[in-house]
Amino acid sequence: MAKTILLAAADPNIAYLLQRYAEESGFATVSAHESQAALDLARRARPALIIVEVDRPSMTGRQMLAQLKAEPRTSDIPIVVYSYSDEETEEPPAGAAGRLTQAVLFDDFLTMLENVGVKP
C-alpha cells in the first residue's frame, strides 16, 4: 500500500498539479480545499507528508502549520508549504520541512521529497 500525501490547497489547479506529481512519484493522495477539512483529514489519515498552500482564503497556511505542529497526533508529520511567491531563497515558515513555489516542476517535487526524507 502506497504512503499518502495530504494536499491542503484551495486552488484546484494547484491541487491537481501536486496530485499528479505525488501519484507519479508512487504516493496515494487525499485532498481538502477548506482549512478545517484539511485539519480533520490530517488527524484521521495520518499522511506521510502534508503540503499546505500558504495563500489560503479561510485560514492562512501559517496558522494551519502552527496548529498541525501543536497537536500530538500531527506534530511529527513533515509539512511543506506551497507559495505563490517565486522567491526560492525565502526560508519556509517555522515548523515547515520545506517549500515549493508556484513554478514547481516535477524535478522540484522529487527534490523536495528527497530533502524531507519521504519515500513511497
- The predicted-structure confidence for 80-107, as pLDDT tens digits, reads as follows 998 876 555 566 777 889 889 878 899 9
CA torsion 55→83→34→93, rounded to 10°? -90
In a domain, 86, yes or no: yes
CATH code for the domain in which residue 29 is found: 3.40.50.2300
Each residue of 46-87: pLDDT tens digit? 999 999 987 654 557 778 888 999 999 999 999 999 887 655
CA gap 43, 90 in Å, rounded: 29
Angle ∠(62,68,81) on CA atoms, nearest 5: 45
Question: What is the domain range of residue 67?
Answer: 4-102
In a domain, 25, yes or no: yes
In a domain, 30, yes or no: yes
The mean per-residue pLDDT over the stretch 12-25 comes to: 94
pLDDT of the residue at 117: 94
CA gap 9, 99 in Å, rounded: 14
In a domain, 82, yes or no: yes
In a domain, 120, yes or no: no
- Per the structure, the count of domains in the chain is 1
Rounded to two decimals, the pTM is 0.88
